[in-house]
């Protein structure tokens, strides 16, 4: 038995679910889970994620795609089938600190993060040892703010990855790179977006005397720390917490928000829509 996922979005209208479920039934399939959302049943946009098994092995993703095409056209939808047995290839970029890198590699090695990791790439040489201990290729690029070596990054990432994760990568990626790479990039920001953008959010939180801090995993777009939010984690703090305490507590939030966002993403539960996300 093979498991497939259909992600589908179009202008809300009658008969979508009937048509999709009929399609699955006619392929002798059984729906395992389905999630749907409409921004507004009157004239809004409709999204659905259907996970289903096909009892017979003869169908491949391409067959389904071909046969579903008329339905997609009928509704004016954007849609995609995914084969759950195909794992996505996730490139990791990291500078410092490395707590998210450590967490992702461990989750991956213990089977809790179902991806391939073609490489860890860093402008900090010392992470090589960690990558090696997990038998993951490591690429060092001699990059800093003045020379981001984006061509080098692109040459590593373009063909070998399905998406990139910036696990505390301190070099802002240029619009030019984003356009050339043209796939999803997930960043972890150590603050509670849409606020405390940019550097040193812990210092800003301290200055404002907030009683709650946060961390945000989001898609990267052309604006710094402004892409669609996927996951956020928060924690209470008090006047006793020093800047170091906030950084330390923030690390836990970052690990949790990033791992949670990636888990949703690789299970095709995240849909981007109007600079926001739907997370099924």
Question: Active-site residues: which are they?
Answer: 225
How many angstroms separate the CA atoms of 194 and 228, rounded? 10
Q: Does 232 bind a second copy (CB under 8 A)?
A: yes
Segment contacting a second copy (CB under 8 A): 92-100, 119-127, 152-160, 167-175? 92-100
Q: Does 194 bind a second copy (CB under 8 A)?
A: yes
Query: Binder to a second copy among 154, 252, 264, 267 (CB under 8 A)?
Result: 252
**Helix residue ranges, H only, the chain:** 16-26, 61-75, 99-109, 128-133, 150-157, 175-181, 201-208, 243-266
Segment contacting a second copy (CB under 8 A): 35-43, 142-150, 155-163, 177-185? 35-43
Query: Binder to a second copy among 192, 241, 254, 268 (CB under 8 A)?
Result: 192
Site for a second copy (CB under 8 A): how many residues?
62
Question: Whose CA is closest to 38, among 60, 63, 65, 8?
Answer: 8
Interface mask toward a second copy for 125-144; x: CB under 8 A: ----x---x-----------
How many angstroms separate the CA atoms of 51 and 37, rounded? 15
In DSSP terms, which residues pair with 45 in a beta bridge?
A: 11
Shortest distance in whole angstroms from residue 137 CB to a second copy: 18
CA distances from 81 to 3, 78, 163 (A): 10, 11, 17
Q: In terms of CB distance, is 129 or 145 closer to a second copy?
A: 129
- For residue 118 the two structure tokens come to 């073609």
Q: Does 279 bind a second copy (CB under 8 A)?
A: yes
Shortest distance in whole angstroms from residue 185 CB to a second copy: 17
Q: Count the Cβ atoms, other than its own, within 10 Å of residue 4.
A: 22
Question: Whose CA is closest to 141, among 119, 160, 117?
Answer: 119
Kindly report the length of the chain.
280
How many angstroms separate the CA atoms of 280 and 276, rounded? 13
Burial of 97 (0-12, 13-18, 19+ CB in 10 A): middle
In DSSP terms, which residues pair with 139 in a beta bridge?
A: 121
Q: Does 87 bind a second copy (CB under 8 A)?
A: no
Q: In terms of CB distance, is 95 or 232 closer to a second copy?
A: 232
Shortest distance in whole angstroms from residue 145 CB to a second copy: 24
Q: In terms of CB distance, is 38 or 148 closer to a second copy?
A: 38
Segment contacting a second copy (CB under 8 A): 98-106, 116-124, 135-143, 154-162? 98-106
Shortest distance in whole angstroms from residue 233 CB to a second copy: 8
Which residues of this protein are in contact with a second copy, per CB under 8 A? 12-18, 21-22, 24-25, 28-38, 41, 53, 97-99, 102, 106, 110, 112, 129, 133, 192-195, 208-212, 214, 228-234, 236, 238-240, 248, 252, 256, 275-279
């Amino acid at each position: 038995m093979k498991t497939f996922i259909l992600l589908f979005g179009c202008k809300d209208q009658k008969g979508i679910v009937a048509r999709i479920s009929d399609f699955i039934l006619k392929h002798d399939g059984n729906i395992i889970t389905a999630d749907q959302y409409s921004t507004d049943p009157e004239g809004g946009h409709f999204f659905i994620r259907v996970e289903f098994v096909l009892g017979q092995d003869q169908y491949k993703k391409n067959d389904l795609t071909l046969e579903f095409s008329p339905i997609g056209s009928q509704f004016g939808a954007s849609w995609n089938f995914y084969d759950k047995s195909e794992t996505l290839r996730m490139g990791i970029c990291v500078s410092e600190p490395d707590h998210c890198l450590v967490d992702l590699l461990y989750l991956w090695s213990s089977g809790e993060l179902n991806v391939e990791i073609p490489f860890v790439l860093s402008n900090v040489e010392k992470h090589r040892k960690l990558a090696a201990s997990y038998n993951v290729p490591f690429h060092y690029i001699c990059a800093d703010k003045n020379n981001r070596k984006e061509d080098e990054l692109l040459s590593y990432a373009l063909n070998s990855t399905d998406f990139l994760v910036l696990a505390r990568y301190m070099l802002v990626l240029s619009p030019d790179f984003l356009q050339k790479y043209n796939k999803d990039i997930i960043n972890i920001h150590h603050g509670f977006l849409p606020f405390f953008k940019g550097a040193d959010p812990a210092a800003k939180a301290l200055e404002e005397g907030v009683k709650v801090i946060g961390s945000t995993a989001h898609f990267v777009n052309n604006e710094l720390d402004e892409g669609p939010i996927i996951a956020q984690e928060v924690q209470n703090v008090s006047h006793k917490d020093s800047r170091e305490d906030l950084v330390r507590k923030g690390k836990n939030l970052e690990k949790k928000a990033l791992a949670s966002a990636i888990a949703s993403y690789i299970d095709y539960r995240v849909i981007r829509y109007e600079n926001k996300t739907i997370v099924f």
